[in-house]
Every structure is written in structure tokens, then in C-alpha cells.
Amino acid sequence: MKKIEAIIRPSKLKAVQKALKISGIPCITVIPVKGTGLQKGYSERYRGTEQSMILHTRVMIVCVVSDNNMEKCIDVIIENASDGRLGDGKIFIYHVEEAIRLSSRVRGVEAIH
């Protein structure tokens, strides 16, 4: 099993969520996050004063998928979250040792389906 964390623009969330559901990967967790990457900070005017904004608002999507669905999940996220511009986001992939569904105590890949 793999844990996929994708940090994307909030405006792309609906498209990614819909495409994942269509692809058979409906289970996601969404977390609001702030951060900066290669695009660095930016300036914004607030009440006539220029404010230096260091952190950008993004959302992090977390999916735990079987090894067979990993590439499909990554492809769906890239296709629906990327405009080809700096600041589109990043995807991180981790190995998941075990998963347990609390209600039934089912373990392993069956717990995420």
C-alpha cells in the first residue's frame, strides 16, 4: 500500500476529487495547508498598504491506495491539478505498513477498499 500526499491549488480540488472518484479512488482526506515552494512569497495590497505574504494557501489531498492503484492515482492528480506553472504543487509517496478498518477490524488492502 502507498500513501499519496498531493499539495495542490484550492481551485483544483473539485476537479481532482471528481476524477479520483470516477477512477475508482473515492476515499480521500483533504487538509487546508499554507506554505511556499519555488515560487517564494508575494506582495498583496490590504487597505492601501502593501503586505508581504510569505505563505500560499493550498490544500493537501491524502489517499491511501493499493500498489496497483498508485500510478492511476498519481496520473489523475497530475492531469487535473497541473496547469504547467510554478506553484501547481507537489506529490509525495510513502510506503504504508498496515491499514486497519476500525469498525470491522479488517486489515491490509481490504481495509482501504
List the domains of the chain with CATH numbers. Answer: 2-112 (3.30.70.120)
Cβ atoms of 54 and 36 closer than 8 Å: yes
pLDDT score recorded for residue 69? 95
pLDDT score recorded for residue 59? 97
What pLDDT, in 10s, does the model give residues 26-84? Answer: 899 999 998 887 766 556 666 767 666 677 889 999 999 999 999 999 999 999 999 98
**β-bridge partners, 62:** 5, 29
Q: Enter the pTM of the model.
A: 0.83
pLDDT score recorded for residue 55? 79
pLDDT score recorded for residue 44? 64
Sign of the alpha-carbon torsion through 76, 64, 14, 7: negative
Alpha carbon of 16 to those of 20, 53, 56, 85, 103: distances in Å? 6, 27, 19, 17, 28
The DSSP 8-state label assigned to residue 18 in this structure reads H
